Amino acid sequence: MKTTYFPGTEPNQPNPEKRNFFASKKVIAVSYAAIITIMTLFPPYDFKVYDGRSPLSIKQEYGFIFSPPKYNDQAFLVVDATKLFVQYVGVTLVFGALLVAFKGD
C-alpha cells in the first residue's frame, strides 16, 4: 500500500520553507548588525554653548566617530547619548519583531 504525503512533508526530504526561514533569519541578523554598526560609526552630535548658567544646544548633526563635525571655537561638542540609545532601542524592537514574525511553527 502506497502512502500519500502532502507536498513538502515527505520523509527525508528537505523542507523548502525551513530553508527560506533560516535564510530570512540570516538576512535579518546581518542587516541588524550592519545598521547597529553604521549607527555606532556615525553617532548624533550636539553642539553646545555655555551661556553662564547652563549649556545651550545650538546645532545637532551626525558625523563620523573618528572625525567629528566642527562648528566654531566657542561651541563644544558632545555625542547625544540619549538619541543614540533611543535609536538602538528602536532598531532592536523592529528587528526583534521581524524575527518573531519569521519564527517557525
Q: Per DSSP, what are the bridge partners of residue 57?
A: 48
Cell of 42: 556615525
Q: Report yes or no on 57 lying in a domain.
A: yes
Q: Which domain holds residue 54?
A: 16-101
Q: Report yes or no on 95 lying in a domain.
A: yes
Report field, pTM of the whole predicted structure over 0.75:
no
Q: Report yes or no on 7 lying in a domain.
A: no
Q: State the pLDDT confidence band at 105, using cuts at 50, 70 and 90.
A: very low
**Where do the DSSP E strands lie in 1-105?**
44-50, 55-62, 76-79
Mean pLDDT of the chain: 81
Residue 70: CB atoms within 10 Å = 10
Q: Assign 102 to helix, strand or coil.
A: coil
Q: Report yes or no on 96 lying in a domain.
A: yes
- Give the model confidence (pLDDT) of 44-70 as tens digits: 999 888 777 878 788 888 999 888 887
The tally of domains found in the chain comes to: 1
Q: Report yes or no on 1 lying in a domain.
A: no
Q: Report yes or no on 5 lying in a domain.
A: no
Q: Report yes or no on 11 lying in a domain.
A: no
Q: Report yes or no on 83 lying in a domain.
A: yes
If one compares 92 and 76, the residue with the highest pLDDT of the two is 92
Task: Collect all residues with Cβ–Cβ distance below 8 Å to 8 and sequence separation of at least 6.
Answer: 15, 16, 17
